[in-house]
Amino acid sequence: MKMIISPAKSLDLETPVPVSNHSDLMFEKAVKEVHQQLKSLKTSELKNKMKISDKIAALNWERNQQFKWPMTSGYSRQAVFAFNGDVYKGLEAYSLKEEEIARMQEMLFILSGLYGMLKPLDLIQAYRLEMGTSMKVAKAASLVAYWKPILTEKLNDLLENEETLVNLASKEYSAAIDFKSIKNKIVHPEFKDFKNGSLKTISFFAKKARGMMSRYLIENNAKNIEDILGFSKEGYVYSEEYSKDELHPVFVR
């Protein structure tokens, strides 16, 4: 089983990382091409394209200018321990056992506007570039258009026969995958809460639940759809009633 998740805007660059080993980027040439375009943007362009404040735009302009090759542990950090958003609070990678971190490295992939797709222990530098940012790269009209053929081909290469792909990424990031061209079975879980008498997707809770499911599948070395449907954490349980089918399971609480 393999999973894809989204990155996070917020970063943790201070907490000591529990592992010393790291892996290499899958798409160094493509990352350099995207970064070259990102580095050329002025602070005002970053602010407008990303809809961020002057302060955050200035910080990220400086990050873009200081970006270094090659990646080394001196100024880079393993991706799964760098991202610090709601998904990663649900994943709680810092508390995984050594063998679970090794399993996570094989099962989990993080989509990224700059890096395309990351293994958890790939080294990354501080950045901000959402997949939905309006930015042309090479001959592609957008980041999604640039990354889609690259990521789709890579996932097809990574997925073994009969292996399931679990899409735990947001719509913004999963847009960079051509799911119709993926040869394997794909499961698209959703997480919903009852609020004021109706069932709703609440962004904060759904993001955390994606991280919790990622951890659950890693801990249990999940292999099939039955393993996925067995997820039950913090009140979420699989609802056949609200699910379209097993490939689109809805977990409610």
Q: pLDDT by residue (tens digit) across 20-55?
A: 999 999 999 999 999 999 999 999 999 999 999 999
Q: Residue 194: in which H helix or E strand, if any? A: strand 190-195
Confidence of residue 141 (pLDDT cuts 50, 70, 90): very high
> Are 240 and 221 in contact, with CB atoms under 8 Å apart?
no
Between strands 2-5 and 108-112, the pairing is parallel
Does the model's pTM come out above 0.85?
yes
* 150 C-beta neighbours (distance < 10 Å), count: 15
Distance from the first to the final alpha carbon of the chain? 25
Domain coordinates of the chain in residue numbers? 2-178
User: Phi and psi (nearest 5°) for 195?
Assistant: -140, 125
pLDDT (mean) for 157-175: 96
* Nearest of 69, 61, 12, 13 to residue 41 by alpha carbon: 61
Confidence of residue 75 (pLDDT cuts 50, 70, 90): confident
pLDDT (mean) for 149-154: 98
> Are 215 and 92 in contact, with CB atoms under 8 Å apart?
yes
User: Cα dist. 235→16, 174, 211, 217, 243 in Å?
Assistant: 31, 26, 15, 17, 17
Please tell me which residue, 72 or 127, carries the higher pLDDT value. Answer: 127
C-alpha–C-alpha distance, residues 177 and 161, integer Å: 19
Structure tokens at 106: 């094989």
Confidence of residue 197 (pLDDT cuts 50, 70, 90): confident
Confidence of residue 16 (pLDDT cuts 50, 70, 90): very high
How high is the pLDDT of residue 138? 92
Tell me 111's DSSP state. E
C-alpha–C-alpha distance, residues 112 and 41, integer Å: 18
Residue 74 has pLDDT above 80, yes or no: no
The strand pairing partners of 58, in sequence order, are none
Amino acid type, 182:
I
C-alpha–C-alpha distance, residues 156 and 2, integer Å: 11
